Chains A and B, each alone.
Chain A
């Protein structure tokens, strides 16, 4: 009985679903149908089983879950009739895939069907195996499929051939078994069998080099002949597509020849003639012909060198490139990418056309063309190409600008002949598409500018001009703000004027205007605003006349709701107000940033952090103290009417003091840099996330004297006044912060509570022993607790062979240093100390707990004491 002709229930269901006006209605219908199908399944209804599965397939296509029908498919496959099996296999392929365990159950049914006397059923089984067969099935059923490759009906042979492809892909060991039968398929006249046979041989060669050798020796010549016959064959209506007999077979043959010819001069040689014939004789006014030409060019490019053919191929691509059909141009660009490794000169000839393609309205073509242009750039054409691309940047689609700027910047960085060219072009890119530029790019630009000491003035003036014309590109503003902050004086006095420059008159207040507009700009983000504050601080010393105005702007941000800005504003305003004497030294120009170190770090950071590579990897050692550091309030001891500085963690503070690294606190990468010298730390403080220069200027020198001073020192405390009341909480967990302003102020006070934020405990006490634990935290790592254990003897006899052992649960890691001694003298005469280090992987969630055991010898008797310590202070 046929579910689709007589019983119209499937049609009815589809109609009902199509009649639904809303998604809710549709869901209701589907729910009802599913319920009925489930009921039928549980009743083990046989008559309607295949109709139910057919319905389920439709429901599945609509996106509803249908897993409950999987077993029904298996039952259908096991039933004897063709219609049931057909629906069963269809359902199997739709509702299941190779990863489901259920599939294993069907292996046996498929095996039986592969041996079935009805060839249509054999066909169904082959189809299912080919489409969703798993590796296990492939292994189990390979002998059957191998046998079917010689089946009398060509329909089965071609299915078996494609099925074999899946088998050898799943189980490459089976390649050997299929080599001989596959080779005999190549002698077939039937197109379908030949087509699938060629495909099977191609895949065999891809998987096994042994097969490749075998086919290369045995079949190259005969394949050339097959292709020759096909090319010269008379009109065959059955296979004709726009005047060409079976273009698909052409393409498969060309592709197989490509694999045979690649890396083998003899094989390549034997196919030269036919390739030349295909390349010259194929009609190129229809898609089918072009598809063959395209494949032929690919083969010519891949096989061993034959100059004449290559010229032919490049010419075909040239023709393609000027074709009006976008598809043809697309494949031409695609192929030219491969051709460039073979003959880059020939590709260069088409540069102008390719450049036009970058401006195409179709994104697919643009993307290909841009990648090709990128490969075409070399020292000699970098300048004009960059110019063209930048000009196009002005008019390109917004969604393409990201890709385009990335490529342009990469070209500029790679091929810049001189710094002024680099700076000029980067400025153009930033002015056009600054919002699409990645952080690394503008960071690199700043590094380049600082290194070009003769271009400082030029750069800052160009930036000033650029900002005047286009003031809405974030990264342009950032670079401009940074440069004005650093080289503001050169902007005013036109120092280092180049001949090519037009003179420009900028007053001090004009320069401050730029920064004021930027900081007040609605769309400026946190980084930009923070940079503006730094620039203002710097300008306050460079432009004494504007000092008051600058202070006014800064003061305005003291009330900012953004913590970062508020803090900077408060600190900077204090510097401007009260510390005139040190200000100029404090805001010295940045030392030259070392390009080599920068690019090295940049390269290293790529793998470490994908997106915010710059910010994250350059995070300072200080940065990791964030979570642990106690709040450093009142850093500058602000006058009482000021808003108290909200606590920022200690490490962070220094880092951000002048920098722009606003990296997320989560960055742990800084740990790796902890061992770096303090010099590094401090230089980074003043940088925008760039590495230190080797040349020290005033600040680092002063600071470097403190390099070894790892104890936390109250930053800037002295700035406020030496007699500052110590409402000051110094964090024991502070990282190696070095006093930034040590050189300018009286000796810093020693922090009064060095490393004892946690009270000591008596961990264990018995009639004869007392164990006391003192805690400290390792700088920068909240998870690690250092414990100094102190063992005291309460009795009057000394203990020998003293051994302390401890055990901790899994979330803790314990490291015991050797004890100071193994002998514990009698009471009052001394003690043993031992250091423990505990790493708490669940820091903040679980507190420490420890089991201890102490063994010793007293009065020549062994003694053993045990205990559990659970009175650790919280938060360790």
Chain B
């Protein structure tokens, strides 16, 4: 199960944070700080996995943005790595060539996409097309 999803830039500013477990606000800030510290200085050749407390963080860097998923120790790391990539592809498709600013100004949409992709810490949909279509329908509702 995914414990939380973080999207941070190189300076450690959180662009998206989604927690599927209850955490105190102060604890969330601590987690975000620690995860950023863990991933930011790793060599690109290194594994995309770091142990974090009793869990594991699967992260991947896209330009200046780090996508980090915290998952259980027994979860399939490679699958979650693929999952991050799929999410990025969806964002890229939705915003057509996504950049950090898109995510800043449309953060609420990013959350909406995420809610169509992952729910209750589990993968909900694996088709990029289905999610983009669904987003179109939701936008029509506005």
Residues of chain A at the chain B interface (Cβ within 8 Å): 2, 4-5, 11, 14, 18, 54, 57-58, 61, 63, 65, 82-83, 86-87, 90, 93-94, 97-99, 118, 120, 126-127, 130-132, 155, 158-159, 162-163, 165-166, 191-192, 195-196, 199, 238-239, 241, 246-249, 251-252, 255, 287-288, 290-291, 294-295, 298, 326-331, 334, 361-365, 367
Q: Is the CB of A362 within 8 A of B23?
A: no
Q: A82-B142, A159-B124 are in contact. List 20 more A-B contacts (CB 8 A).
A: A18-B104, A57-B107, A57-B108, A61-B14, A65-B25, A90-B111, A97-B19, A120-B141, A127-B119, A131-B18, A162-B119, A191-B126, A192-B127, A238-B127, A288-B82, A291-B79, A295-B79, A362-B47, A364-B49, A365-B47
How far apart are B109's CB and chain A's nearest CB, in angstroms?
8
How many pairs, one residue from A and one from B, have CB atoms within 8 Å of each other in the complex? Answer: 157
Interface check B92, CB cutoff 8 A: no
Q: Is the CB of B77 within 8 A of A330?
A: yes
How far apart are B74's CB and chain A's nearest CB, in angstroms?
9
Q: Is the CB of B104 within 8 A of A14?
A: yes
CB < 8 Å neighbour of B86 from A57, A63, A241: A241
If A159-B119, A327-B47, A364-B47 touch, whether A295 touches B19 (CB-CB below 8 Å) is no
How far apart are B92's CB and chain A's nearest CB, in angstroms?
15
Closest to A134 in B: B22
* 12 examples of A-B residue contacts, CB within 8 angstroms: A58-B107, A61-B15, A82-B142, A86-B142, A118-B141, A131-B119, A155-B134, A159-B124, A195-B125, A238-B129, A248-B83, A248-B126
CB < 8 Å neighbour of B142 from A83, A127, A298: A83
Contacts of B15 in A (CB 8 A): 61
CB < 8 Å neighbour of A196 from B18, B22, B47, B124: B124
Q: Is the CB of B112 within 8 A of A90?
A: yes
CB < 8 Å neighbour of B141 from A82, A255, A288, A330: A82
How far apart are B86's CB and chain A's nearest CB, in angstroms?
7
Contacts of B122 in A (CB 8 A): 162, 165, 196, 199
How far apart are A258's CB and chain B's nearest CB, in angstroms?
11
Interface check B76, CB cutoff 8 A: yes
Flag B59-99 by CB within 8 Å of A: 1 or 0 each.
00000000000000000111101110010000000000000
CA distance A362 to B14 in the complex (A): 26
CA distance A246 to B130 in the complex (A): 13
Closest to B81 in A: A287
Tally of B interface residues using CB under 8 Å? 51
Q: Is the CB of A158 within 8 A of B142?
A: no
If A18-B104, A87-B108, A326-B45 touch, whether A241 touches B127 (CB-CB below 8 Å) is no
CA distance A327 to B56 in the complex (A): 13
Flag B10-30 by CB within 8 Å of A: 1 or 0 each.
000011111110110100010
Q: Is the CB of B142 within 8 A of A192?
A: no
Contacts of B22 in A (CB 8 A): 97-99, 132
Q: Is the CB of A294 within 8 A of B78?
A: yes
Contacts of A365 in B (CB 8 A): 46-47
Q: Is the CB of B104 within 8 A of A362?
A: no
How far apart are A675's CB and chain B's nearest CB, in angstroms?
40
Contacts of B17 in A (CB 8 A): 61
Q: Is the CB of A90 within 8 A of B108?
A: yes
How far apart are A164's CB and chain B's nearest CB, in angstroms?
9
Contacts of B141 in A (CB 8 A): 82-83, 86, 118, 120
Give 5 nearest A-B pairs by CB, closest first: A291-B78, A130-B120, A362-B46, A97-B22, A162-B119
